[in-house]
Amino acid sequence: MSSRTAPRRLLVTGGCGFIGSNYVRERLAQAEGTEVLVNLDLLTYAGNPANLADLGNDPRLLFVRGDIGDRALVADLLSRHRIDAVVNFAAESHVDRSIDGPEPFVLTNTLGAFRLAETARAYWNGLGTEERAAFRFFHVSTDEVFGSLSPDDPPFRETTPYAPNSPYAASKAASDHFVRAAHHTYGLPTLISHCTNNYGPYQFPEKLIPLMLLNALDGKPLPVYGDGTNVRDWLHVADHCRAIDLILAHGTPGEVYNIGGLNEVRNIDLVRELAALLDGLRPHADGKSYAEQIVFVADRPGHDRRYAIDCAKIAAELGWKPRETFASGLRKTIAWYLENRPWTDAITQTRYARERLGAA
């Protein structure tokens, strides 16, 4: 592991979203050397300032509402705050939404990320020798760029060929290629990570775990796509954030790192486990199990069968491994949502139409 100094002045994009806000929290809580953290977020439907409301008095945190594709704005933020690392979380990320309307995914995930990297490259070119060597551009990607695995296939590695199957995955794949090209063509010190399905606090309620949890509590059906045997590897967001900071501080520029939870679970088994935990934590008055609310619905188009990540590289080079098991992480996640129902109600009742939410 390298001994370089961790970045102290960061531009975090999409920091009001699920993973981004958890990263901002983790960074400010754990990294005492952080001098400035600029959070640039356009506050589209999934960007929620309430995710960071309790940090409003931290003098290190500055919120700026804006688009990652706004080159003048990004250039000003980089130079004015003497940024030494960009961490790009900003993305449209819901597969069902990408199927309904792909264009916003291309504009944000591909064109926006390209423009962000180009603006960072221009800023980096103007730095002194030491500052250029210390600068990092971190692009947060997804395992979905690799396509789908059959039940017996080995997990995705960093060298697995790209084979995106949804507009969302295609838009992220394109952004990965532009970031990679910025390093190999121009020398921009980039880092790319591919993560598996994240879960934890502050996740937007259209995603699987909060959707199923809220539907269960509201007495609504728990819709599971197809036969429920699609498999995902689940990564607690806190483990993901710790991995990002480790890569940012010690990763090799130009390299790609896979981050997984080592928890492959079938969708139907996840929903059943969630129901069983709720049976104990918030039992129905009539004694019925939440599992009785499970219903199977028509599968979505192009639904990938299985995702799984090989984490051997980050484990060997940087010593990272997840701290949470799926059982421990799911229990903590459910407890957080039970304790923070006003947070979800503010989204589902005023900022977002519940009927748009999808299935597992």
Measured CA to CA in angstroms, residue 169 lies from 78, 133, 232, 252, 323 at distances of 29, 32, 15, 25, 27
Q: Residue 214 is inside which H or E element, if any?
A: helix 208-217
Cα of 221 vs its chain's centroid, Å: 26
Catalytic option among 168, 199, 202, 337: 168
Q: 144 catalytic, yes or no?
A: yes
DSSP 20-78: HHHHHHHHHHH-TT--EEEEEE---TT--GGGGGGGTT-TTEEEEE--TT-HHHHHHHH
Which pair of tokens denotes residue 199?
Answer: 């879960």
Catalytic option among 92, 144, 239, 324: 144
Which pair of tokens denotes residue 172?
Answer: 């992220």
Q: 168 catalytic, yes or no?
A: yes
Rounded to whole angstroms, the Cα distance separating 190 from 117 reads 9
- Beta-bridged to residue 41, according to DSSP, are 65
Interaxial angle between packed helices 326-339 and 208-217, expressed in degrees from 0 to 180 and rounded to the nearest 10: 50
Q: 35 catalytic, yes or no?
A: no
**Catalytic residue list:** 143-144, 168
